[in-house]
Amino acid sequence: MNISRPDCQPSPRYTNDLLLTGTDRQSEGAAAIVGQIAHELRQPLSAMEAIVYYLQLTVTDDPRTRAQIEKLRQLIEQSGSILSDAVHYLQAAPARPEHRDLHEALAECLSRLAAPDQNLIELDLADPFPLLNFDLTQMDHLLSTALRFCLRAGRRAHPVEVSTHVEDARAVVSFSTAAPHFDIPTPEDLFTPFEDHPAAAAGLGLASIRRIAEAHGGTCQLSAHPGHRVTLRLELPI
């Protein structure tokens, strides 16, 4: 029985299209190891993703079973995200930017979210909005990671507001959500890899997207008001 999703290609977060490089021998070695691991795990993760999709289509009667399938889907997604974070934090090849539509890149990221997560996204996108010069693979990781961060920060219980506008000749993309349980006195600490962060910012996620933003001549900042709201703000040159 073929259980592959008919329109399913391996998710970009599982691919390693960019050859990893480093500034010295040690970083090159670490990057090569992570790149090889990501490459080897791409197919198993994609296969498990397809199996979960099949189970979601066929198992409809038992709510407890469906809840466990959803947990499995989230774990597979998290595994892919961890690999992607490591690949991008160790700096894949220098950005290969082209003039592209950021809104189209965002729409592609949103299309890969699970239906419950898609329903939490509220868009306020500027129209018109200029084309930007960015590497599509790296920007895909940045946008996807920002969305996941806000969904986790709000414990998937609050809408995530995504907005774009132009300010002082810079393109601004903001991700914001209510996060009553998110208590981080110093938001800047969340960009430090492997610090003792809550699950929403564990590991290399925010550190990797800041590196990507800076590689494109931009910035990535986080503001958090304990017990109230978190906002991730990305600025890119036009």
Token digits for 112? 């890969």
Angle at 207 between CA 205 and CA 208, to 5 degrees: 65
Residue 31 amino acid letter: A
Q: Are residues 60 and 107 in the same domain?
A: no
Q: Are residues 124 and 160 in the same domain?
A: yes
Q: Are residues 227 and 139 in the same domain?
A: yes
Task: State pLDDT tens for residues 207-233.
Answer: 889 989 998 999 999 998 766 889 999
Cβ-contact 204, 193 below 8 angstroms = yes
Answer with the one of 39, 57, 89 that is the final residue of a domain.
89
User: Computed over its alpha carbons, how large is the radius of gyration of the chain?
Assistant: 18
β-strand partners of 225: 229
Predicted confidence (pLDDT) at residue 42 exceeds the cutoff of 60: yes
Distance of alpha carbon 212 from alpha carbon 88, whole angstroms: 8
For position 135, which CATH number holds?
3.30.565.10
Cβ-contact 231, 162 below 8 angstroms = no
Task: State pLDDT tens for residues 165-204.
Answer: 999 999 999 999 998 887 776 788 888 876 655 555 556 7
Q: Are residues 116 and 50 in the same domain?
A: no
